[in-house]
Amino acid sequence: MDFDDDAELDSSQVDDRRGMSRGGLAVGGGAVGVVGLLIALFFGIDMTGGGDGGSPAGPAASGSQDVRGDCRSGADADARTDCRVVGVVNSVQEYWTSEFKAENRRYETAKTVLFTSRTQSACGTADSDVGPFYCPGDKEVYLDVGFFRELTSRFGAKGGPFAQAYVVAHEYGHHVQDLLGTMDKVGDDRRGADSASVKLELQADCYAGVWARHADSTPDEKTGRPLLDKVTPADIDDALDAAAAVGDDRIQQGSQGRVDPDTWTHGSSAERKRWFTTGYRSGKPASCSTFG
């Protein structure tokens, strides 16, 4: 996955809170908690996101740096993890803006909040232990970029830039569901292999695949050129590997030595891969019919 070096990034779509005071709150550990990963929609938010592996955050994790000043071009997105997040957020929202327009709908832009360890959201405290999530209360995505490293080291995903992109695209899939009213279908049906919660997560995986299909062909509104130069088969493999790494069955087998489908909230590794592939192959949101 490569960005157009001359592409202009819109950092206003990302709220960088890294290094900000956390108001005396205790700072949690950087590791992704297994219990947190198994929670889904318990408080009305997605606690685990798509999950992915990725390259270490490197210089992007420093609180002394800010995407508003440092992430300006596609070259920056290729060089730094946090700038890559900005670029993917821009690309994903360019696609959904155009898709909504084609359906005579208005897409509402959502910000991604970058934080370190802990911050506040309308859905409660955003903590690194629960991984990336979308909060419908403020319509924002929350992400500690250290999550990419944890998914690689603890959950065995191969990682890579497009695995990181998959995480972001999955969370924006939840934003799309929020705008379309799909989240209302979940209600109290939040656990089990055939639950509405699982269907919601698999649909977000499918929406991520739809974006991936169009990622290197959706033109930037300002330049008329796509932000991404090319998405390769290797990129898609990295996304599929990331999706499989956070399947409920794989997480349960690794954390407790057994699999209990009655407690699933996100779907199996095979299902997550299948629905991402469905979206990618069709390139059409209508194909993401996880609710039937």
Q: What is the pLDDT of residue 65?
A: 66
205-256 pLDDT, tens digit per residue, is 999 999 999 999 999 888 899 999 999 999 999 999 999 999 989 989 988 8
175, 213, 248 from 225: Cα distances, Å: 25, 16, 38
d(CA 35, CA 77): 32
If pLDDT is split at 50, 70 and 90, which confidence band does 55 have? very low
d(CA 231, CA 210): 13
Q: What is the pLDDT of residue 89?
A: 98
Look up the pTM and report it.
0.86
Share of the chain above pLDDT 70, in %: 84
Q: Which residues, other chains included, contact 71 with Cβ-Cβ below 8 Å and sequence gap of 6+?
A: 9, 11, 14, 77, 80, 82, 83, 86, 87
Residue 51 predicted with pLDDT over 80: no
* Three-state DSSP string of 130-192: HCCEEECCCCEEEECCHHHHHHHHHHCCCCCHHHHHHHHHHHHHHHHHHHHCHHHHCCCCCCC
pLDDT (mean) for 79-89? 97
d(CA 148, CA 157): 9
Label the pairing between strands 124-127 and 14-16: unpaired
Q: What is the pLDDT of residue 36?
A: 38
> Smallest Cα–Cα separation from 50: which of 123, 144, 131?
131
Residue 166 predicted with pLDDT over 50: yes
| Cβ count within 10 A of residue 286 | 8
184-195 pLDDT, tens digit per residue, is 988 888 899 889
pLDDT (mean) for 37-57? 36
Q: What is the pLDDT of residue 54?
A: 36
Q: What is the DSSP letter of 219?
A: B
pLDDT (mean) for 77-95? 97
pLDDT (mean) for 74-82? 96
Q: What is the pLDDT of residue 127?
A: 87
Q: What is the DSSP letter of 7?
A: P
**Mean pLDDT of the chain, nearest integer:** 85
- Lowest average pLDDT, out of 6-10, 26-30, 172-176, goes to 26-30
Residue 53 predicted with pLDDT over 50: no
Q: Rg (Cα) of the chain, in Å, rounded?
A: 17
d(CA 9, CA 1): 16
Compare 155 and 98 and report the one with higher pLDDT. Answer: 98
Q: What is the pLDDT of residue 66?
A: 86
Q: Which residues, other chains included, contact 42 with Cβ-Cβ below 8 Å and sequence gap of 6+?
A: 190
Q: Which residues, other chains included, contact 69 with Cβ-Cβ below 8 Å and sequence gap of 6+?
A: none
User: Phi/psi zone of residue 181: left (φ > 0), alpha (ψ -120 to 50 degrees), beta?
Assistant: left
- Lowest average pLDDT, out of 47-51, 117-121, 287-291, goes to 47-51
